[in-house]
Amino acid sequence: MDEIDKRILDILQKDAAVSVTAIADKVGLSTAPCWRRIKRFEDDGVILRRVALLDRRKVNLPMTVFVSVKAPRHAAEWLQTFREMIIDIPEIVEAWRLTGEADYLLRIVVPDVETYDAVYQRMIRRVEFFDISSAIAMEEMKFTTAVPTSYIKIS
CATH number, domain of 111, equals: 3.30.70.920
Bridge-partner residues for 109, per DSSP?
Answer: 64
Domain contains 29: yes
Q: What's the confidence (pLDDT) of residue 104?
A: 98
Residues in the chain: 155
Q: What's the confidence (pLDDT) of residue 122?
A: 98
Domain contains 35: yes
Domain contains 149: no
Query: Burial letters for 3-37: b for 16+ Cβ neighbours within 10 Å, e otherwise?
Result: eebbbbbbbbeeeeeeebeebbeebebeeeebeeb
Beta strands in the chain (DSSP E): 63-70, 92-97, 104-110, 131-136
**For residue 8, what is the domain's CATH number?**
1.10.10.10
Do 74 and 27 share a structural domain?
Answer: no
Q: Please give the average pLDDT of every successive group of 10 residues along the chain, which has 155 residues.
A: 96 97 98 98 96 96 98 96 98 97 97 98 97 97 95 88
Domain contains 141: no
C-alpha 17/C-alpha 101 separation (Å) is 41
Q: What's the confidence (pLDDT) of residue 63?
A: 98
Beta strands in 37-127 (DSSP E): 63-70, 92-97, 104-110
Q: What's the confidence (pLDDT) of residue 154?
A: 86
Using DSSP, state whether 74 is helix, strand or coil: coil
Residue 18 Rama label (left phi>0; alpha psi -120 to 50; beta): beta
Contacts of residue 22, Cβ cutoff 8 Å, sequence gap at least 6: none
Task: Give pTM, 2 decimals.
Answer: 0.90
Instruction: Note whether 153 and 141 are within 8 A (CB).
Output: no
Do 131 and 84 share a structural domain?
Answer: yes
In angstroms, what CA-CA distances link 12 with 4, 53, 56, 108, 134?
12, 13, 21, 26, 34
Domain range for 10 is: 3-43
Structural domains counted in the chain: 2
Instruction: Note whether 8 and 15 are within 8 A (CB).
Output: no
Q: What's the confidence (pLDDT) of residue 149?
A: 96
